[in-house]
Amino acid sequence: MMILKKVKLLVALCISVTAFGQSDTLIPSSPKLHYFRVNMGPKLEQYVVNGNSNVTSIPHLDVGAGLYIGRRFTENIYAEVGLIKNDYSARLEITSQNMAGEELKSFSSQLYPTFSSVQVGLLGGYRLPLSEKWTIYGQGGFHLFLNKKLTRTGSQFFKEPARNESGSYEEDIEVIAFSNDFEPGNIIFRGDVGVYRQISKSLSLDFSVSGRFSNLPLNEFKIEYSSFSNSTKQQAVVANKGVALNLIFGIKYQINKYKSS
């Protein structure tokens, strides 16, 4: 029932976008969508580590995808509503020391999935044609979560070698990841810059770069670790604030040609 309500909300948002900006009547008789976009691409994610300076978040690549419908209000100004599929995972590196005081690195080969999501995006933008074939654009807005699901629950145990820089020494380190859960954050802010390359009357290629972040943590989990040289258990809290840089590739298809009133 909850998902059904969210789908109904998305439909209402789509109708609002198509209705907004009509001139002549309060309720338009024939609202039009002007285009839709489909895209996907790699995203570089960054988590935040709190409570332990020996645990570092490592940026890593993941993949996201989106489907958008758009309406133009003027020659340059437009708005879009989109469905975005984004999954999240963390990569960490733990620095420990052996009994001789030498630094050891570990855990960086482990990818820890945290949660999957479907989001609705509300965007407004400005487009500027450079020629018959090329158009640049900039846009901003936010995402709301329609659905999110934890990828891992409970505790996970990892055991792997911690090595020095030269690889001449290694010892075991044990890591437990637990308390993977959602936090208050439910909005992701977004800004894009991109370019369209028209290849036919209705079809264009779409290339853009998108930066995203949240003002509140979306998700957190804890890790606890100990090594052969240091059996004292140490902890860190790893948080996801939606910080990501996306490189997006896709297509844009014109449904109705924009006509100024």
* Domain assignment of residue 73, given as a range: 2-21+32-254
**By the 8 A CB rule, do 108 and 44 touch?**
no
- pLDDT tens sequence for the chain (261 residues): 444 444 444 445 444 444 444 444 333 445 689 999 999 999 999 999 999 999 999 999 999 999 999 999 999 999 999 999 999 999 999 999 999 999 999 999 899 999 999 999 999 999 999 999 999 999 999 999 999 999 999 999 999 999 999 999 999 999 999 999 999 999 999 999 999 999 999 999 999 999 999 999 999 999 999 999 999 999 999 999 999 999 999 999 999 999 886
Domain total in the chain: 1
- Which residue type sits at 232? T
Residue 192 in tokens: 């894009």
> For residue 112, what is the DSSP state?
E
Q: What CA–CA distance (Å, rounded) separates 206 from 82?
A: 15
Q: What CA–CA distance (Å, rounded) separates 7 from 11?
A: 6
Q: Provide the pairing of β-strand 134-150 with 77-97.
A: unpaired
Helix (H) or strand (E) holding 60: strand 60-72
The answer to whether position 39 is within a domain reads yes
**By the 8 A CB rule, do 171 and 228 touch?**
yes
How many Cβ atoms are within 10 Å of 208's Cβ, its own excluded? 21
Give per-residue pLDDT as tens, 102-143: 999 999 989 999 999 999 999 999 999 999 999 999 999 999
Predicted structure pTM score: 0.83
Name which of 89, 218, 74, 82 is nearest 142 in CA terms: 82
The answer to whether position 226 is within a domain reads yes
At 148 the pLDDT is 96
At 10 the pLDDT is 47
Q: Provide the pairing of β-strand 35-45 with 244-254.
A: antiparallel
Which runs of E-coded beta strand occur in 166-243? Answer: 170-182, 187-198, 203-213, 219-227, 234-240
At 31 the pLDDT is 61
The answer to whether position 259 is within a domain reads no
Q: How far is CA 97 from CA 58, 105, 163, 254, in A?
A: 20, 9, 10, 59
The answer to whether position 66 is within a domain reads yes
> For residue 254, what is the DSSP state?
E
The answer to whether position 137 is within a domain reads yes
The answer to whether position 140 is within a domain reads yes
At 20 the pLDDT is 43
The answer to whether position 261 is within a domain reads no
At 130 the pLDDT is 98
Q: Which residue has the tokens 């999954």?
A: 87
The answer to whether position 260 is within a domain reads no
Q: How far is CA 200 from CA 35, 248, 253, in A?
A: 14, 20, 10
**By the 8 A CB rule, do 101 and 91 touch?**
no
Check which CATH number belongs to the domain holding 235 and give it: 2.40.160.20
